[in-house]
Chain A
Amino acid sequence: MRFAANIFLVVKKDLLLELRGKEALSIMIFLSLLLLVVFNLAVDINRDNVSELVSGILWVIFAFSGILGMGKTSLSERDDDAYLNVVFSSVSMESFFFAKVLSNLLFLMIMELFTIVFFVVLFDYERLFSALPGLSIPLLLGSFGFSVVGTLFSFLSTGSRFGEIILPLLFLPLVVPVLIGGVSSTDIILNGSAGDTPGKWLKILLVFDMLYLSISLILFRYLVEE
């Protein structure tokens, strides 16, 4: 019970911070909109090819906007070593990490919803809306994987001399399974014929999530002990 209460407290703190400062989330959303515009300029997206391109474009945007946003939320923990107050409180390391993962997950999901709305409006692709219930599962599983790795690595990168530039370099290669699983399952849900199910891709996402959550919960302790 205590575990859940502590998690709730930290998530509430992050949300309050976001509501008052409006920093990480708005940067993520603006970046995803900007990336959509850039994609449209780089690749001519039209009625004929939009269904082929949509899943790849969305997941690339989720990964890039996501990792930059998560870098920002950890930076606010590192400012004045704010997270040390949590470390020295009764909140356990594991529940603190899990709470950070959840609040990052929440930010990611909000950013992804905005990106999907932008996509539908900009490219007139309403299929995304009708498929949204089915898409919610890969979105949730994929974002959870992003959030676990991103939370851990963004804490790691705040101690680095190279700053946030090191973050995508560490993050992107590691989340390749999430990208493959996310893109493939989204593609099958949007374009697959009747017999296709995204089952095996969802399984990969689930395996990745479970593996990295359990390992990160163990390793996070070593990251913050100074």
Chain B
Amino acid sequence: MRYRKIIKALSLLLFFLFPVNFYLIFQVAPTERIMGDVQRIFYLHLSLAISAYIGFGVLFVASILFLIKKNILYDVLASSAGEVGLIFSTLVLITGSFWARPVWNVWWTWDPRLVTVLILWFIYLGYFLLRKSLPERMKKARYSAIVGILGFLDVPVVRLATKWWRSIHPRLSKEGGGLDPLMVKVLLFSLFTFVVFTIALIYFRFRVALVEERITSILNRMEES
């Protein structure tokens, strides 16, 4: 019952947030002087990036909790959050590419931030391949938790290592310099929308995964008897 209420509340909220968010991005936000309309991708791109990091962050914490508490629920949460993170990071790479083509005149460039997201994407792809290849339930949970922890810790080191390369990624300075105040407001709204969306997606996926988990265990029991 409580589950239904949460789903309903989150869905209603998103039903309101998304149209407003898109209206703000496409109608209210001023057009960028040099880049033009293509700059509007940035509101989605940055929000997606934050969402992906939230997904991987939840995976990291849930993996640690699983190893400590040995409760399979944490593993289900970790993989659910990881799926959301993987999808969002894929979208980050795609939207970034769409933006880079007209602005930087290339589809891809070896900028530190791009490389970090790409490496992260490979790490979590490996995470899911490993999950797929481990038939035994507890082993799958333990092994993938280890990869989830190691993978997330790699992010700052990869960033550090790639940082000394020439960076052409646009920087948002702390004073908000270069970014119109209205743009900042639209950006914050977009960030908020996507954070709610991410939390909702992880929660929905978690519930579905729990049902999947229950069905598998019932099937296994039926096979045994």
Contact = CB atoms under 8 A, between A and B. Distances in A.
Interface string B123-135: 1011001101111
Interface stretch (B25-33, B159-167, B188-196): B159-167
Contacts, number: 84
Summarize A's interface: helix, strand, loop or mixed. helix
A219 B150 contact: yes
Given A161-B135, A173-B126, A174-B123, A207 B160 contact: yes
B161 A181 contact: yes
Nearest to A204: B161
Nearest to B135: A161
A152 B134 contact: no
Interface in B52-89: 67
Nearest to A171: B126
A106 interface: no
Report the contact-size class of chain B (Cβ under 8 Å from the partner).
Answer: 20 to 34
A176 B150 contact: no
A174 B142 contact: no
B145 to A, nearest CB: 7
Interface string B116-148: 000100110110011011110001001101110
Interface residues of A, number: 31
B37 interface: no
Interface of A: 149, 152, 156-157, 159-162, 166, 169-170, 172-174, 176-177, 180-181, 200, 204, 207-208, 211-212, 215-216, 219, 222-223, 225-226
